[in-house]
Structure 1
Amino acid sequence: MKHIYLLIIIFLLFSQSLFSNGIRGVIYDNEGQPLPYATIYVEELGTGTAANQEAYYELNLKPGKYTLQYKFVGFETVIKKVEIGQSFLQQDVYLEKQTLLLNEVTTTAKATDPANWMMRKAIAKSSYHRQLIDAYSGKVYVKGKGRVTSIPFYLRSVLKNEGIDTSTMIITESVSKVKYKRPNQFSEEVISVYASKENDFNASPMRFISGSFYQDEIAASISPLSSKAFQYYEFKHLGAFMDGGFLVNKIKVTPKVKAPNVFEGTIQLVEEDWALYSVDVSTQIELGIEVRIRQIYQNINQLAWMPISYQFDIEGKLMGVSFEFKYLASVADYTITLNPALPNKIEVLSKEEAKETSNKEVAQSVSELKESSNSKSVKVEAEELADLMKDYQKNQNDSLSKLDVVGVYNYKIDSGAYNQDSLFWQQVRPIPLSKSEIRGYAKIDSINIINDEENKKDSLKEASRSTFEFSDILFGGRYPFGEKKDWSFIIYNALLSTQFNTVEGLNVDYSIGLRKNFKFKVDSADMMQSDYMLIKPPFILIKPTMRYAVARKKFTGKLLGKYQFKKGNISLQGGRYVNQFNDLPAITPLINTSFTLMWEQNFMKLYEKDFVELKFENNFSHKWRISGSVEFENRYRLLNNTDYTFIDWERGLTPNLPINVEPIEEFDGQEALTADFKVTYIPNIKYVINNGRKFPITDKSPILSLAYFKGIKGLANSDVDFDRIEFEFKDDYEIGAKGTTYFSMRAGAFLNNNSLGFMDFAHFPGNRAFITQLDPVQSFRLLNYYLYSTDDYYLQTFLFHRFRKFLITQIPATRFMGLKESFFVNYLNTKQSNNYTELGYSLDGILKFFRIEIATNYEDFKYKGIGFRVGIATTLGGSISIETNKDE
C-alpha cells in the first residue's frame, strides 16, 4: 500500500509537466514575499484564475499572443504581454503596493466625507448594473478545504464513527457551467466534482457566487449597495489610486449596529462607472457562522465589470463543534450580452453637479433614458436614476413578474461528475495544487479506496436484510410496493403519539396507511395560472387510527380518506375520537403530558365525539386560497379517570372542564352540524423557484383572511344555531437598522348565538405552562386557556418587535452569539376581558434553540401579575407563512 501512495504522489507531482503549452510562475510583492491567491486575468479569453496558497500559478494556453493582468487587493495591477510557444513560459511577477492619493478625489458635494456622495451614486447605479447584463455564461472552478477544529468530549466517539475528527481534512473541487439570464435566472451544471466525502459538496459557497452585491441582499445579508444601505452603514473614504486608466476609490464600510447579516470591511469603486472593483467584507450568517468574502472584478471586453475571482473564509460552531473552511473560486470563459434597451454608459450626477449642469442637458438625458435610448452616454441625477430604474423594472413585462417570481435557480450534477480521473483534473484545474494539497489528495484517495471496499461489503449485508424489522412496529416505516413502486404501506411512529392526560391516563394513537402516488406533471398552464409552489404531487391516502386509553380501558378510532390534487385537497374522516375544546390545539400533548406528570397541572381539557367531517382546500391562484369544512358531531362530556402524577405537589388536579368567566352550559349528548368557509388573500407575495419548485417569500406581503362559521339548526337533528364572522390580518415591517416589527390582528363577532356548545366559542391562544412551543408572535403568555372564550364580539392583537440592538445586545459579543432581544404587547378585548393586556421582554437564541421571557399582565390597564416563560425557539411569525397540508 505504501508503494501505491508513493506512485500517486510521484504522478501528481510530475503530471504538471505533461502539458507543454502555457505560462507559470510565482507572484511576489516588491519585497520578494509571495502573494497567495493573487488573481490572474487573460484579456483575450475573458478568463480569470488565481495563484495557489504558495503564490504559484500555472495556465495552460494555446500558442499565441496574450495580455495578462496580475492583481492583488492593495497592490497595483501589473500588465504583461506574452507570447506562448510550444513550451511553458516561466514568468515570475512582482507587484508594488498601491499608494492611496486623497488629492485625486474631487469633492463637489458638502458631505462630511466624500464616501457619502460616492456611495449615493453607486447605490443609485446598482440597479442599472443589474439590468445592464442581459445574459452571461462562464465556467466556475471552486476549490474548498476545511476541517473540524474542536469537538466536545461527549461527541468525539459519535463523530469518529462517521470518520470526522480534528485531524481529518475535507477537500472539495468542482467545475461548473453557469448561465445567467435577466431578470435573475441562474443555472448551474456541475460537470466535475472531487470530494473527500461526496455529501460535503453541499457546503459550496455558490449562493454567494450566484448572488450580487448590486442586489439589496446577498445570502440574506444587507449589501453595502442596497437601496437602504445608509440605514445600516457608515462610510469613510480611505483614498484613491489609478489602475489601468481607471480612478478607483477605496471605501471603508462600518455597520451602525454590529450584528448578524450586515457587512464590515472595504469596497473599491471605479469612479464614473461607480462599479465594483473589489470587495473585502465579513458578515455573520445563520447560526452564528462567520464569513469573509473577497472578490476581484474585471472590465470584461470593455462591456461590464464582472467578478473573476473569489475567496471565502468560513468559521463557525454548532452544538459545540467548531469548524473552518476556505474556498477559492475563479470564473473563466465569460460571454456577456448587454441589455439593448439601456444606454451603455450613464453619468450619475450629485444634486450639486446637477445644478451646475444645464437643466436642458439633464432633462434631455432623462428623456433619452425613459425612451431606452442606447445611442450615447446620458446624464442623470442620482435620486432620479434610482426612481427611473424602479419604473423600468416595473415595466418589464417578463414571464417571471407575471408569476410574482423574483428569482429562478436551477442546479444539477452531471451523471459522470464524480468519475473524473487525475488526468482530467490536471487539464481543467485553473489553480494548481500546493505541495501539501498534493500529499493530502494522495492520502485521501487511498483512504477512499479502502472505504469503497468496506461500503461494498456493507451494501451486500444490507441487501440480505429484510425490508421489515420488528422495531418498525413502534418506530414506523414506509414500504413501497407495486410494479412502479407507486403504492406504499405506512406504519406511523407510535412512540411520538404516546401521551398522558387525566381523562385517559396513558394513551397511544396507532396509525397505519395505504398510499397511492399518481404520475405528476406540471404543464405550462399550471405555471402561468397558479401558485406553482402549491402544486403538489397527487395521491390518495387511506389512514385508519386506533386509540387506546388505559385509564378508561377503552378503544376509540377514526378513519381518514384523503385525495391530494395539484392545487388542493379534499378529505373525509369519521369515527369516535377525543378532542380539545380548542382544537388548534390549546396546548400540545407533549407539554401537557410533562406538566401533568411532573408538576401536577392538567391544562388539557377534552371531550369525546362521534363525527363525520368533510374538508377541502383549493389554491386556485397564487394570491387566493379557499378552504372549508362541514362536520356532524355527537358530543359527550368526559371526566377525569386518574390522578396519577410522578410528584405530589399537593395542589390538586383540576376537573376536566374549561374555566370560563361565565358558566359553561351542558353539552353532553348534543348533536351539532357545523360548517365553515375561509378566504385567504396574499396581495404582494413573491417567490423563488429552485429546480422547478416554487417557494414563497411571505415576509414581503401582508396576509388577509375572512372566515364564516355556521351552526345549522334542525338539519340532521342538529341542536346548534349560530353565525360568526372573523377577519384576520398579519404582516411584518423591517424598520431599517432598528429591527423588525411583527403584527397580527384577529377580530370577529357572533351575528347570532342562539344555541351552541362551548367548543363552538371563539377561543384564544392562551398559555399557563412555563415551557411553551407556541409562536411568540401570536400567543398570550399568561392568559388562561379558556377564561375569556366568548360567544360575542372579540378583538385580539399581537405586536412583537425584534431589536438589532437593545439592552444585552449592546455588547457586540452577545449579538454574535446569536442572541436577540424583543419586546411584545398582546391585547384582548371581549365583553368580559376587561381590556386584557400583556407587556413583555424576550431573549431569543439561547443555545440556538431556546428563549426566555418575562411578561406582565393587566386588566383595565391595572397591573395584575408577572410570569416567566421558557420557549422553544421557532421561526418568528411562523404562522404568518402560508399553511400547507401535511401529507397525513
Structure 2
Amino acid sequence: MRLFICCLLLWPFTAVAQQLSGTIYTSDGDLLPFASVSVKGRQDGVSANNNARYTLRLEPGTYTVVCQHLGYKTQEKQVQVKENMELDFILQKQELTLEEVSVSSDGENPAYRIIRAAIKRKNELSGKSVPYSVMRYNKDILKMVNLPDKIFGQKIDKNEMEGNGLDSMGRGILYLSEALSKISFDPPKKFKLDVLNSRVSGSDQFGFNFPIFIDLNQNNVIIFLETFNKRGFISPIADGAINYYRFRLLGTFFEGDKMIYSIEMKPRRRFEPLFNGVINIVDGDWVIHSVDAYLTKESQLELVDTLKLQQLKMHDGNKWLLRNQVLTIRGNVLGFEVSGTFHNVYNDYNFSPEFTKKTFSNVIIEYDTAVVSKPKTWWDTIRPVPLEEEEVKNYQVKDSIYTVEKANKNTQAYIDSLRKWQGKIKPHKLLLSGIHRNHYSLTNSYSWGVESVLWNTHYNSVEGLNMTFIPYWSKWYKKNLVTVEGNIRYGFLNGHLNPALKLEIRKRGGDQITAYGNRILTFSGGKSVRQFNPSNPISEFNNTLSTFLWGNNFMKIYENNFASAEYSRSWESGIRLNMQALYEDRLPLDNNTNYVLIKKHRNQFTPNYPFEKIPQQFTRHQAVVLHTSISIQPGQKYIVFPKSKVSMGSSWPVFTFDYSKGFKDVMNSDVDFDRWKVTINGNKNMRIAGSLNYRVWAGGFFNSAAVPIHDHWHFNGNLTDALSNLTNGFQMASYYKLSNTEPVFGFAHVEHHLNGLLSNKIPGFKKMNIQFVTGANVFYANQNFNYTEVFFGLENIMKVLRVDLVAGLEKGRSPQWGVKFGAGGLFGNFVNAFQGGRRRQTFELK
C-alpha cells in the first residue's frame, strides 16, 4: 500500500517533458522578437529571443498557448502535445479604436483623465502592497557593433580581437551571461535578491544582475544605479507627470474582457529627463498594462545614445504582474559602437511567502555558494529565452578557451606564457612610465618595480631641481601582502640626500576583492622632505610650474629624521580605525634660489615657511605624536559572493573622530598639545533637484601649551588657477591663512551639483549637457577670525572639464574673485577619483 501511494505521488513527475518551439512573425512576414508566450491558466511563461524563436517545455497533453507582444493582438492556439513539435504564431497589428472614449467639453485630450486616474490609483496602492517573491531569469548581452581602425592615433589590430569573441571586422559578443534568481520583497523597503545560478561565457565568475525591476510606479525612475542619469527619469505616472508630459490617446483595445487605453507620451520640453513612447493603461484597474518607451540624448541620457524599455504584464485573475522586461541600449564612445540587451522574464509569483527574520538584513544581493555549478545541460532545460545561434557559438568558443586555460593554469607552461607576454625590460620606460614587473614562478612569485623618474623630478626654491627614486617589492604570503618601498630623494642645489624605507603588511580578511576585515600594519623611517601641512595642499607638479614659470613658491617644506608605526583596520559594519605613533626630528630649510623662467617674477619669492602665521623660520625641535582616528558609516548594504562581501554603500554620512596627542619630554620631544576634530561627510542625491555633497567639521585644542606650526590644524588653501581639494579646502585662501590653535572652530563645505537642472533651459548648454554647480566653503573661529567662499561653476564641459567663478569673503576686505579650472562631469569625476595615481597589482598564483 505504501509503495502504491509513493508511485501515485511520483507519477506526475515521470512524464517526459516535450519541447514546443516556434517562430513569431508579423502579418507582413517579419520576425517579431521578445514576444511573451505562455500557457493559458498558468503563471509561468517564456519569451522569444531576438530572432523571434521561443521554446516551451510541456508534458504530454492539450494546452491553450497564448502569444503576446506590445502593439499586436494577443493570439491563442490550442495544441495537443505528444512529442517535440513546432508551433508558429503570426500576430496582427493591434487595431485601436476611439469609439469607447468621449472627448471632454474643454477640449482636453481624454488621455489626461486616464493618466490622472492611474496616478491616483498608484498612490492608493502604494500603501497596500503585500509581501511577495518571484523567480527571475535574466540574459545580458553586450555586443561590439563597430570597432574603429585607430584610437588616439594607435592602430587597432582587429585580428587580435578574434579570441575575445569578435570577428575579423571587430564585431561580435563582448559579454554574455544568464542567471536564475529569487526576488523577495516585503513593503515598503525590505528587499533581497538571491542569485541561485549564474553562467558567464568564458568565465566562472558570477555576472551582474541589474536592472532587477524598472518600476514606473516610482515618481523617479532609476536605471542601472544612476549610471545613465544621476537625476533619474520622471515616470509618465509620477505625481506631477502632467506638468512634464504631453499625452494623447491613440485608442483602445481589449485583452480578454479588459479594455486597455493606449496613450502616446511626449516631453513638453526638450532636454528634460523624460520618456518618449507609448504607455498602456487598464480601464477600471488604472494600472500599467505595458510600456514601449525610449530615451535619447535629449532625455539627458549619459554614456549611451539610446535606451529602449519594453515591459509587458499579465493578469493572474487578481493582479497585473510583470512578465517580461527588455532593456536595449546603444552607444558610441571614441568610435567604439556598442549595443546591449538585458532581458528579464518573471515567473512563479508567490503572494504568501514564508519569510523569516533571516530573509531580510543588510545583505541586498546574495550569491549561492554553488552559483556557478550547474552544467550546460541544466541551463538548456530551464532557460525561458532560447539562445540564438551567435550566442551558442560564443559559449562554445569562449568556454573551450577558458577550459584549456584553466587546465594549464598553475603549470610551468602557463608561467612561461606569462613571462613571454610580459616581455623584456625596456630601460627607457624607467624615465616615463616606470618599470613594473612580475616575477612569475610556481613557488616564488612576486612583483617589483621602480616608479617613473621623470614624473618624480621637480623644482622648488629650496632644492632647485630634485629627483626621487622609488623602488618597490611586494609578495603574497598566504593572506598577507608584504610590500617594501624605498624613497630616495636628492636635491641638486642644496646637496641633501633624503633616504627613507617603508614596510607594509596587509592582511586580508576574505577574498582579494573585499576590503572588510583587512588589517594594515606599516613601519617606516629615515629622512624625508615634507610639507608643513601633512595633507599636501599643493602637488609637487603644480608647485614646479608655479615656481619655475612665475616665481610663486607656494609649497613650504622642511626636512625630518623620522620613525613611524601605523595600524589600520576596517570592519564590515562600516567602522574604520587608524592609529599612528610618530617621532620627528624637524629641521628647517631655507630658500637657495630665486631662479624663474620669466625674470620679471623673480621678486615674488616668499620665505620657505608659513609666513602668514609665523614671523620667522622655526628652530629645530623634536616631536612625539600619537594620532588616532575612528570613523563609522551606519546603514551599510552589501553584496555577498561565495567567498567575499562587498559594500554597496549607505545613505548615511560618514562620522569621524580624530584625536592627536603631542607628548612633552618623551624622547626629548618639545611638543605639548591635545587636538581633536569631529567630521560629518556625506552626499545626498535629490534626484531631479540634483545632488548635494557636504563636509562639516568642528575641532580645536584641549591643550595648546607647545604647538609648533607643523601641528596646527591646517586647512587646504589654493592660490593656483587649478581647482584643488574640492570637498576639503578653499579655492581662494592662501595655504596657511586659516591654520590655527583655537580652542574651538568650525568648517563647512557644501556643493550642489544641479546635474542639468536649469541649464537644460539654455540653448547650447542643454544640447551639450553642460551643468551648473554651486556652493560655499565656510570657516569660523570667532568674530575676528573667519572666512567664507562662494562659488558658481559650469561642469560636464566636453564631459570632462569644470570652470568655477569663486569669491573669497573676509571681514574688512573687498571680495577676492578668481576663475578656477579643473575636472568635472561624466568623465571628469573619474579623473578626480583616480588622481591619486595607479594602484599597483601584485601577482598571486591561485
Q: With structure 1 as the length reference, what TM-score do the two structures score?
A: 0.73
Q: CA deviation at 1:833?
A: 6.9
Mapped contact 2:780–2:787 kept (Cα < 8 A):
yes
* Partner residue, 1:499: 457
Task: Report 1:725-874 matches (<5 A).
Answer: 725-772=676-723, 774-792=724-742, 793-806=744-757, 808-811=759-762, 814-815=765-766, 817-830=768-781, 835-860=786-811, 863-873=814-824
Q: CA deviation at 1:717?
A: 1.3
Q: Write the distance in 1 (CA, Å) between the matches of 2:271 and 2:644.
A: 32
Q: Deviations along 1:740-777, whole A, 9 cap, x unmatched?
A: 222222222223322221111111121111123x3433
* Partner residue, 1:288: 303
Mapped contact 2:415–2:442 kept (Cα < 8 A):
no
Equivalent position amino acid for 2:470 in 1: Y
Mapped contact 2:46–2:384 kept (Cα < 8 A):
no
Task: Report 1:213-612 matches (<5 A).
Answer: 217-221=222-226, 222=232, 230=240, 234=244, 236=247, 238=249, 241-250=253-262, 263-270=275-282, 276-283=288-295, 287-299=302-314, 306-318=321-333, 320-321=334-335, 323-327=337-341, 329=343, 331=345, 334-340=347-353, 397-398=357-358, 400-401=360-361, 404-408=362-366, 414=372, 430-431=385-386, 462=417, 465=420, 469-471=424-426, 474=430, 475-479=434-438, 488-495=446-453, 498-502=456-460, 503-504=462-463, 505-519=465-479, 538-565=480-507, 566=509, 567=517, 568-612=519-563
Mapped contact 2:279–2:291 kept (Cα < 8 A):
yes
Q: Write the distance in 2 (CA, Å) between the matches of 1:26 and 1:621.
A: 50
Q: Write the distance in 1 (CA, Å) between the matches of 2:305 and 2:291.
A: 16
Q: Write the distance in 1 (CA, Å) between the matches of 2:302 and 2:369.
A: 25
Q: CA deviation at 1:887?
A: 9.2
Q: CA deviation at 1:624?
A: 3.4
Q: Deviations along 1:59-84, whole A, 9 cap, x unmatched?
A: 67665433222222123322222224
Q: 1:817 to 1:58 in 2, by over 3 A?
A: farther
* Partner residue, 1:24: 22
Q: Write the distance in 1 (CA, Å) between the matches of 2:764 and 2:351.
A: 45
Q: Deviations along 1:304-361, whole A, 9 cap, x unmatched?
A: 655444443322232x3252415273638x444433479xxxxxxxxxxxxxxxxxxx
Q: Deviations along 1:661-715, whole A, 9 cap, x unmatched?
A: 3434543321111222223232344444466544445561122222222222222
Q: 1:280 to 1:514 in 2, by over 3 A?
A: same
Q: CA deviation at 1:637?
A: 0.9
* Partner residue, 1:535: none
Q: 1:157 to 1:725 in 2, by over 3 A?
A: same
* Partner residue, 1:184: 192
Mapped contact 2:537–2:725 kept (Cα < 8 A):
no
Task: Report 1:637-652 matches (<5 A).
Answer: 637-643=588-594, 648=599, 650-652=601-603
Q: 1:23 to 1:595 in 2, by over 3 A?
A: same
SS of corresponding position for 1:119:
helix
Q: With structure 2 as the length reference, what TM-score do the two structures score?
A: 0.76
Q: CA deviation at 1:573?
A: 1.7
* Partner residue, 2:8: none
Q: CA deviation at 1:481?
A: 6.8
1:82 pairs with 2:90 = no
Q: CA deviation at 1:138?
A: 5.2
Q: CA deviation at 1:543?
A: 3.2
SS of corresponding position for 2:664:
coil
Q: How many positions carry a matched residue from both structures?
A: 764
Mapped contact 1:224–1:233 kept (Cα < 8 A):
no
* Partner residue, 1:3: none
Equivalent position amino acid for 1:219 in 2: F
Q: 1:192 to 1:659 in 2, by over 3 A?
A: closer
Q: Write the distance in 2 (CA, Å) between the matches of 1:87 and 1:482.
A: 54
Mapped contact 2:35–2:68 kept (Cα < 8 A):
yes
Mapped contact 1:258–1:812 kept (Cα < 8 A):
no
Equivalent position amino acid for 1:790 in 2: N
Q: 1:705 to 1:39 in 2, by over 3 A?
A: same
Mapped contact 1:295–1:311 kept (Cα < 8 A):
yes
Q: Write the distance in 2 (CA, Å) between the matches of 1:147 and 1:554.
A: 58
Q: CA deviation at 1:620?
A: 5.2
SS of corresponding position for 1:593:
helix
Q: 1:804 to 1:324 in 2, by over 3 A?
A: same
Q: Write the distance in 2 (CA, Å) between the matches of 1:645 and 1:157.
A: 41
Could you tell me which runs of 5 or more consecutive residues in structure 1 were left unpaired when the two chains were aligned.
1-18, 343-395, 520-537, 880-884
Q: 1:489 to 1:69 in 2, by over 3 A?
A: same
Mapped contact 2:233–2:275 kept (Cα < 8 A):
yes
Equivalent position amino acid for 1:578 in 2: V
- Identical counterparts, % of pairs: 19
Q: Write the distance in 1 (CA, Å) between the matches of 2:416 and 2:629.
A: 53
* Partner residue, 1:380: none
Q: CA deviation at 1:123?
A: 5.1
Q: 1:41 to 1:620 in 2, by over 3 A?
A: closer
SS of corresponding position for 2:473:
strand
Q: Deviations along 1:372-426, whole A, 9 cap, x unmatched?
A: xxxxxxxxxxxxxxxxxxxxxxxx844642xx33444679985898xx89xx999
Q: Deviations along 1:582-612, whole A, 9 cap, x unmatched?
A: 1111112232233334444332211111111
Q: CA deviation at 1:484?
A: 5.5
Equivalent position amino acid for 1:867 in 2: G
Bigger proportion of residues as helix: 1
Mapped contact 2:474–2:481 kept (Cα < 8 A):
no
* Partner residue, 2:655: 704
* Partner residue, 2:512: none
Q: Write the distance in 2 (CA, Å) between the matches of 1:809 and 1:237.
A: 25
Could you tell me which runs of 5 or more consecutive residues in structure 2 were left unpaired when the two chains were aligned.
1-16, 105-109, 185-190, 227-231, 510-516, 834-838
Q: Write the distance in 1 (CA, Å) between the matches of 2:369 and 2:335.
A: 30
SS of corresponding position for 1:764:
coil
Q: 1:266 to 1:601 in 2, by over 3 A?
A: farther
* Partner residue, 2:173: 171
SS of corresponding position for 1:591:
helix
RMSD: 4.8
SS of corresponding position for 2:547:
helix
SS of corresponding position for 1:208:
coil
* Partner residue, 1:115: 115
